[in-house]
Chains A and B, each alone.
Chain A
Amino acid sequence: MAETTRRTLLAGMAALPMAACSEIADTGPAGDLFDAAEGLHRTMHRALAQRQALAREYAPEDRSPDIRGNGSISVDTPAYREQLSKGFPDWRLTVSGLVDNPISLSLDDLRALPQRTQITRHDCVEGWSAIAEWTGPQLSALLDKAGLREEAKFIVFRCADTLYGRAYYESVDMVDAYHPQTIIAHQLNGKPLPEKNGAPLRMRIERQLGYKHAKYLTAIEAVTSFDDIHGGKGGFWEDVGDYQWYAGI
Chain B
Amino acid sequence: MKRHALTTRLWHWINALAFVVLFMSGLNISNAHRYLYWGEYGYDPADAWLTVIRFPAWATIPQRYDLAEARDWHNTFAWIFAVGLLVMWITSLINRHFWRDIATGPRDWTFAAWREAIAMHLGSGIEDDSRYNSLQRIAYGVVLGLLLPMMIFTGLAISPGFEPAAPWLVDALGGRQSARSLHFITAWTLFVFAAGHIALAMAPGQRRQRKAMITGTLGEETPRYG
Question: Which residues of chain A have a CB within 8 Å of any CB of chain B?
Answer: 30, 33-34, 37-38, 40-42, 45, 48-49, 53-56, 58, 62, 64, 66-68, 121, 123-131, 206-209, 237, 241-244, 246-249
Binds A, one of B70-78, B89-97, B127-135: B70-78
A208 CA to B161 CA, complexed, in Å: 6
Across the interface, name the chain B residue whose C-beta is closest to A64: B41
A121 to B178, CA, bound (A): 14
In the assembly, what is the distance between CA of A151 and CA of B75, in Å?
Answer: 32
The stretch that binds A, out of B29-37, B114-122, B196-204, is: B29-37
A-facing residues in B131-179 (Cβ within 8 Å)? 158-167, 170, 176-177
Task: Give chain A residues whose Cβ lies under 8 Å from the Cβ of B166.
Answer: 48
Q: Do the beta carbons of A124 and B33 come within 8 Å of each other?
A: yes
Q: B81 → chain A, closest Cβ, in Å?
A: 12
Residue with the greatest number of chain A CB neighbours at <10 A, chosen from B41, B72, B158, B165: B41
- Whether A41 contacts B75 by the Cβ 8 Å rule is yes
Check B164–A55 contact: CB distance below 8 A: yes
A sample of 20 cross-chain residue pairs with beta-carbon separation below 8 angstroms, ordered by A number, consists of A33-B76, A34-B73, A40-B79, A41-B159, A45-B161, A68-B44, A121-B176, A123-B160, A124-B33, A124-B43, A127-B33, A128-B33, A128-B43, A129-B43, A131-B40, A208-B160, A208-B161, A237-B68, A241-B68, A244-B68
**CA A68 to CA B42, docked complex, whole Å:** 10
> What separation, in Å, do the CA atoms of A226 and B30 have in the docked complex?
31
Given A41-B75, A121-B40: A127 and B29 within 8 A (CB)? yes
Query: Given contacts A37-B76, A37-B79, A62-B40, could you give 16 more A-B pairs where the C-beta distance is less than 8 Å?
Result: A34-B72, A34-B75, A45-B165, A49-B164, A64-B41, A124-B43, A126-B33, A126-B67, A127-B33, A129-B40, A131-B41, A208-B161, A243-B68, A246-B161, A249-B159, A249-B160
Smallest CB separation, B36 vs chain A (Å) = 9
4 closest cross-chain pairs (CB), A and B: A248-B161, A127-B33, A49-B165, A53-B164
Interface size on B, residues (CB 8 A): 35
Which of B30, B71, B170: most chain A CB closer than 10 A?
A: B71
- Centre residue among B33, B42, B161 by max chain A CB count within 10 A: B161
Which residues from A are CB-within-8-Å of B101? none
Distance, CA A6 to CA B47, complexed state (A): 45
**Given A121-B40, A128-B43, A131-B41, is A54 in contact with B164 using a C-beta cutoff of 8 Å?**
yes
The answer to whether B108 has its CB under 8 Å from any CB of chain A is no
Q: Which B-chain residue is minimally distant from A241 (CB atoms)?
A: B68
Interface of B is mostly: helix
With A38-B75, A48-B165, A127-B29: A56-B43 Cβ-Cβ less than 8 Å: no
Q: Could you say which of B43, B67, B165 contacts A64, with CB atoms under 8 Å apart?
A: B43
CB atoms of B33 and A45 under 8 A apart:
no
Partner of B164, one of A33, A40, A41, A207: A207
- Chain A residues with Cβ under 8 A from B40's Cβ? 58, 62, 121, 129, 131
Is B167 touching A56 in the complex (CB atoms < 8 A)?
yes
Alpha-carbon separation in the docked complex, A151 to B180 (Å)? 40
Contacts of A123 in B (CB 8 A): 158, 160, 176
Q: Judge whether B162 and A126 touch: CB under 8 Å.
A: no
**Cβ proximity bits B28-59 to A, threshold 8 Å, 1 near / 0 not:** 01101101010011111000000000000000
Known: A34-B76, A56-B167. A41 touches B43 (CB 8 A): no
Residues of A within 8 A of B37 (CB): 128
Contact of A56 with B41 in the complex, beta carbons under 8 Å: no
A206 and B76 alpha carbons, distance in the complex (Å): 23
A35 to B167: give the CA distance in the assembly, Å. 26
Report the separation of the CA atoms of residues A66 and B42 in the bound assembly, to the nearest whole angstrom.
10
* B43 / chain A contacts, CB cutoff of 8 Å: 64, 66-68, 124, 128-130
A128 to B, closest residue via Cβ: B43
In the bound complex, how far is the Cα of B159 from the Cα of A246, in angstroms? 12
